[in-house]
Structure 1
Amino acid sequence: MENFDYDLQSVQEVRNLARQAKLAQTQLAKFNCEQIDKIIRNMVKVAEENAVSLAKMAVEETGFGKVEDKIFKNQFASTELYKFIQPMQTIGVVRQDTVNKVMEIAEPVGLLMGIIPSTNPTSTTIYKSIIAIKSRNGIVFSPHPSALKCTLQAAKLMNEAAVAAGAPANIIGCISKPSMEATNELMKCDEVAMIIATGGSAMVKAAYSAGKPALGVGPGNVPAYIERTANIPKAVKNIIASKTFDNGTICASEQSVIVEECIREQVMDEFRRQGGYFMTAAETEKVAKKLFVRGHAMNAKMVGRSAQVIAENAGISIPPGTKVLLGEQQGVGEEYPLSYEKLTTVLAFYTVKDWEEACQLSIKLLNNGGIGHSLSIHTETPEMAIKFAEKPVFRILVNTSSSQGGVGASTGLAPSFTLGCGTWGGSATSDNVTPMHLINIKRVAYGIKDFTENTTPSYSTCAQSGNANAISEDQIMNVVNEVISLLKKRGDN
């Protein structure tokens, strides 16, 4: 009975949140650029002021990642994001084509539903709140139950900051009684115009099946290829920095390292020098058993954990100061558990003969749960980067940390915590999602060609066109009259 009451309360809460936020959004839709910018600047300020406390809350509640890295993510989702989106035109006339006489006017989408993952809860909430307001949309969040408190707090802070700077009350909402019923109700309610889903593949699929527009992102199973001309110390440093950043909780983090035979020993030595530990086959098996449940689903207790915590749980001993665990794999699929996505400090390690074999292996790994997302390559040969640009992903990250590169921290990509995987990965976009994905464009188009008179030649003019094979109307009538006469004669007989 208690569960039944809870579910009813959670559904009712969702209905209230959606109605309130939709009402607020209809008012926000009338705001101008200056008003919106003032609101966002205050949201950024409040996000910065609370970056540390929100990071601590997230780690304490979920057990995932590291406080110092979550602080960076909170700042990146506010200050760095603002620098990138501030010049974007999301209100009024955004483009005028004087030649073709077409004017484009931005309109908000309406009320958004934001699905928040447990791996990056506060930073994703801040990021989605800011891009929603930039495009004059309201948003209601559905938090992951294991990150409820910190997501609620982040949403509350963003709403209060927005309202304090002039936004309508309840423009940003968050479910406080999470349940599957509540999430489904929010996905399907009339007030919600679009869903932005960041989370597990099951949740993203549910968002796409809700019967309304959705921007969802798939998992990443990022291969990192160290090509023979790479700067090996730099490549290893980037991979370790990425995989240990928030203990590997970003979906763009490397999952497998691929090296050529000719540099294998050099790369392994460099990993050992920089804090990598190569597990034996028996140790790899023990760790893999701890990492996964129900086949290759990630064990939540191992997500975003340090190498030491994983080693202790698996019952293996590793040197002090170990940063990442590496396990050699001979193939891809069910028999090779480390060939799947591992949102923690564990990497698969592969050796190949040449770049062509690296290509084939990368495609297999991507088809094993990361299609459309990202791929990383370390090389000093530009032509090699172009060869790998042909792979089935939408982010080819060259000579950089994949986590930071994918989200736009170490590259020129748009700062984002929602990384589209395109149609290959079942996503509606292949972009890093920005406010430009959250607006409708209406077009005012002036007539530039005169179509008041039909200038298409009619059928009857064919006879005068000089076509020897054309048949005139008189010829057709003669044939018809002859047929009628014949039929009459037959009838008389």
Structure 2
Amino acid sequence: MMIQMDQDLCSIQEVRDLVQQARKAQRAMERMTQGELDKITAAISSAAAAEAGRLAGVAVEETGFGLKADKEIKNRFAAVTLYDAIKDEKTHGILAQDREKRTIDIGVPVGIVAGLVPSTNPTSTVIYKSMICMKAGNPIIFSPHPSAVKCILETVEVVRRAAEAAGAPKGAIACITTPTLEATNALMRHDHTRLILATGGGAMVKAAYSSGTPAIGVGAGNGPAYIHHTANVRLAVKRILDSKTFDNGTICASEQSIIVTREMERAVTEELQRQGAYVLSDSEHTKLSKFILRANGTMNPAIVGKSVETVAKLAGLDRVPASARVLVARETGVGRGYPYSNEKLGLILAYYVENDEPTVLERCVEILEWEG
């Protein structure tokens, strides 16, 4: 009789096996020189840059989030720009000496790293986390988002092959192939996991901080943009829309709200419309608001990284022109019952108009205290 193994148990066992392999890799990497670690890092950079376009396409095809061309830019930024920034840094051995104070700074690996990867930026996250871990001599085990497993595993394979060909030991870069919540928790809480690099939703980042293992987390952004009365309005609006539309709004650092004083309302509104933003009517505002969050208060994946056309169709907005770059909704409140005040990883901006600057600043703080 065939026994069906429980998926959660299988995934937990996989984590244990990967950690054991990573411990062996760690012992080997501890004996490596700075030059050997730099060679591995350079190999990852070259391989990831060469595959940047293909991996971007795989990510869009699997997740349905964002734009291939923009994801390729993110992949290249991680593979090339980041590499150029860190390639000459010393991370291993004696880093600095202060003869007067009689101190020596010595760089040593932290140990096994757990890398949590989101679905919105799956491939670029794997590239840069692999690179910074290899640069410092730390094995990394990735926990992929369930909806982006294929593209994450493919990216891990690209960087793993390059790293091992350049001298990295087997097990230095690995990934859970059966992602479950239990597997992620087992990885984060494992006695031999020394650091968590957590990129993703607020709940996941909070879980990382609560795991008992040191963690560096990046969760919701929800950044408000205050256009001051001294600003170049045309340029300010251009920068905001360029940022918001990059990869269809999947970057958590992109603007989520525009806030202005009453005296700036007309100029900013006209400039938004001139540059392709569609300002929703009251009825359209109400229709779209029902699709921003799910019943449990988390972001609705149906709007994440989708085109304006797709979002408008979802909400039944039939007056939105095909040329619209972003949907802009006037908002008056923050918190529960005001979904536009949340982070929106799509082509939706909240628009607040306040009486004066002190009120604007209070609103900015209120938005960030609510989420961000």
TM-score, length basis structure 1? 0.73
CA-atom RMSD, angstroms? Answer: 1.3
Partner amino acid for 2:305?
Answer: G
Shift of 1:197: 0.8
Closer/same/farther in 2, CA of residues 260 and 300 from structure 1, 3 Å limit = same
Larger radius of gyration: 1
* 1:140-188 C-alpha deviation (Å, 9 max, x unpaired): 0000000000001111111111000111112100000111121121112
Local SS of the residue matching 1:194: strand
Question: Take 1:177 and 1:3, find their aligned partners in 2: how far apart are those partners?
Answer: 15
* 1:363-404 C-alpha deviation (Å, 9 max, x unpaired): 01111101xxxxxxxxxxxxxxxxxxxxxxxxxxxxxxxxxx
Shift of 1:217: 2.1
Structure 2 unmatched ranges of 5 or more: none
Local SS of the residue matching 2:96: strand
Matches within 5 A, 1:259-338: 259-294=260-295, 296-317=297-318, 318-338=320-340
Count how many residue pairs are aligned between Structure 1 and Structure 2: 370
Which residue matches 1:137? 138
Which residue matches 1:352? 354
Which residue matches 1:231? 232
Tell me, yes or no, if the aligned pair for 1:307 and 1:345 is still in contact at 8 Å. Answer: yes
Question: Take 1:346 and 1:156, find their aligned partners in 2: how far apart are those partners?
Answer: 35
Partner amino acid for 2:142?
Answer: F
Which residue matches 2:148? 147
Partner amino acid for 2:302?
Answer: K
Partner amino acid for 1:201?
Answer: G
Question: Take 1:275 and 1:253, find their aligned partners in 2: how far apart are those partners?
Answer: 17
Which residue matches 1:213? 214
Partner amino acid for 1:343?
Answer: L
Local SS of the residue matching 2:155: helix
TM-score, length basis structure 2? 0.97
Tell me, yes or no, if the aligned pair for 1:24 and 1:169 is still in contact at 8 Å. Answer: yes
* 1:394-446 C-alpha deviation (Å, 9 max, x unpaired): xxxxxxxxxxxxxxxxxxxxxxxxxxxxxxxxxxxxxxxxxxxxxxxxxxxxx
Which residue matches 1:126? 127
Tell me, yes or no, if the aligned pair for 1:126 and 1:154 is still in contact at 8 Å. Answer: yes
Matches within 5 A, 1:334-483: 334-370=336-372
Which residue matches 1:88? 89
Which residue matches 1:470? none
Shift of 1:281: 1.1
Question: Take 1:4 and 1:300, find their aligned partners in 2: how far apart are those partners?
Answer: 31
Tell me, yes or no, if the aligned pair for 1:221 and 1:368 is still in contact at 8 Å. Answer: no
* 1:445-490 C-alpha deviation (Å, 9 max, x unpaired): xxxxxxxxxxxxxxxxxxxxxxxxxxxxxxxxxxxxxxxxxxxxxx
Which residue matches 2:259? 258
Tell me, yes or no, if the aligned pair for 1:152 and 1:174 is still in contact at 8 Å. Answer: yes
Moved over 6 A (4+): none
Counterpart check, 1:192 vs 2:193: yes
Which residue matches 1:49? 50
Tell me, yes or no, if the aligned pair for 1:296 and 1:340 is still in contact at 8 Å. Answer: no
Local SS of the residue matching 1:302: coil
Partner amino acid for 1:192?
Answer: T
Which residue matches 1:245? 246
Q: Percent identical across equivalent pairs?
A: 47
Which residue matches 2:167? 166
* 1:89-146 C-alpha deviation (Å, 9 max, x unpaired): 2111111111111111010001100000111000001010001001110000000000
Which residue matches 2:80? 79
Shift of 1:4: 4.9
